[in-house]
Amino acid sequence: MDFLQVDRILVEAILAGTNAGFMMSGVEPAAVGVSKLAPHSQEIAVLVGLAGKRSGTATLLMSRRAAVYLASRFLGCEHAEAEQEMRNAQIELSLIREDIFDAISEIANILAGTVKEKLEAYGVTNISCPSIIFGADYNMYHFKGFDTASIEYEIKEIPQFFFMDRYIGVVISLSSN
């Protein structure tokens, strides 16, 4: 039986980038799965372009509730306040405070900056500003000639009651040599 071969350098870049991106929020997500495919779409995707001799994207995928929770922690809200924000995350995306979107963009930016550093040997020398996609009804595809690695994480600090919101994905897709 052949086992799934995921590019180890991309996996290591995701692990390092995720640790760096979430460090300021005080959240340590646990890696629960690795794949060559992007996970299912989530309500929010933060994309950061990777550029240089090889180009692609670093993508952070999460639910609205996870975004509110992570941003609240990143912004230094008290734990009880962050939990209350997360419980109220059923509100319309357009009504979520701008600082929430700024915070998750900054988390993705820190993540992508670390990924860039880890992939310099692969020819990645620059990153773009983060872009946010709202809405869960999309699919991400990359054309032939891209290497993709994806890690799904569980944020155990999010209460079990919100089981599906505990899972976030980080994906790197990078053009092949």
**How does pLDDT run across 107-164, given as a tens digit for each residue?**
999 999 999 999 999 999 999 999 998 876 777 766 678 899 999 999 998 888 888 8
pLDDT recorded at residue 162: 84
Average pLDDT over residues 97-113: 90
Average pLDDT over residues 76-99: 61
Q: How far apart are CA 8 and CA 19, in angstroms?
A: 17
Let me know: does 63 contact 86? Beta carbons within 8 Å: no
Among residues 158, 168, 161, the alpha carbon closest in space to that of 17 is found at 168
158 belongs to a structural domain: yes
Q: How far apart are CA 154 and CA 134, in angstroms?
A: 21
143 belongs to a structural domain: yes
39 belongs to a structural domain: yes
Please give the structure tokens belonging to residue 48.
């950061």
DSSP state of 88: T
Average pLDDT over residues 72-76: 86
Residue numbers of the domain that contains 153: 8-175
pLDDT recorded at residue 81: 57
Please give, one letter per residue, the 3-state secondary structure of 31-55: EEEEECCCCCCCCEEEEEEEEECCC
Residues linked to residue 151 through DSSP beta bridges, in sequence order: 34, 170
Please give the structure tokens belonging to residue 128.
């773009």
Q: Is residue 137 helix, strand or coil?
A: coil
Q: What is the mean pLDDT of the chain?
A: 85
52 belongs to a structural domain: yes
117 belongs to a structural domain: yes
144 belongs to a structural domain: yes
1 belongs to a structural domain: no
Residues linked to residue 134 through DSSP beta bridges, in sequence order: 44
Q: How far apart are CA 88 and CA 14, in angstroms?
A: 30
- Domain count for the chain: 1
Q: Is the pLDDT of residue 95 over 70?
A: no
Instruction: Say how many residues make up the chain.
Output: 177
pLDDT recorded at residue 86: 58
Average pLDDT over residues 23-46: 87
User: Residue 115, class by beta-carbon neighbours within 10 Å (0-12 exposed, 13-18 middle, 19+ buried)?
Assistant: buried
Q: Is the pLDDT of residue 78 over 80?
A: no
2 belongs to a structural domain: no
Please give the structure tokens belonging to residue 143.
């054309």
CATH at residue 29:
3.40.1550.10
Neighbouring residues of 166: CB distance < 8 A, sequence distance ≥ 6? 66, 154, 155, 156, 158, 160
pLDDT recorded at residue 15: 96
